[in-house]
Amino acid sequence: MPTSNVATTIRMNDYAKAVLDSAAKYTNQSRSAFMLSVSLEKAEEVIRERSEAMREIATIILNAEESQNFLAALERDFEPSEALLNLKKHYDSFNIVDRT
C-alpha cells in the first residue's frame, strides 16, 4: 500500500506548545513526530479498551425461537448442582450479601 502524507493543522496555546516541544526534545523527535507517535499510541489504547469492553458486553441477538426458549428457561424451577452449591460455600467466606 503506498504511503501518503496528510497535513493536519492544530491550534494550541503557548503552554501546550512549550510542553509538547519539551517532551519532543526529551525524546529526540520533532514536535510533529512526537505528537503523531503519542496520538497513535493513545488511539491504539482506546481502540483496544473499546474492543475489550465490547467483547465483555456484546449484545446477544436471538431469533424468535431462541427468545422463547430463553424466557422459558428463566421461568423453570431448577435444583442447584453440587458444583453450584460448592461455589456458594466458597463465596460465603467472602461475606457477600445477597439482596435478592
> What is the DSSP annotation of 10-37?
----HHHHHHHHHHHHHTT--HHHHHHH
Q: Which three cell numbers stand for residue 69?
A: 426458549
Task: Identify the residue with better confidence: 91 or 49.
Answer: 49
Alpha helix segments (H runs only) across the chain? 14-26, 31-56, 64-75, 82-92
For the ranges 3-17, 26-40, 57-71, the lowest mean pLDDT is seen at 57-71
Taking all residues of the chain, what is their mean pLDDT, rounded to a whole number? 87
Q: Which helix or strand (DSSP H or E) is residue 6 part of?
A: none
Mean pLDDT over 36-58 rounds to: 89
The band of 96, judged by pLDDT with boundaries at 50, 70 and 90, is: low
**pTM score, two decimals?**
0.52
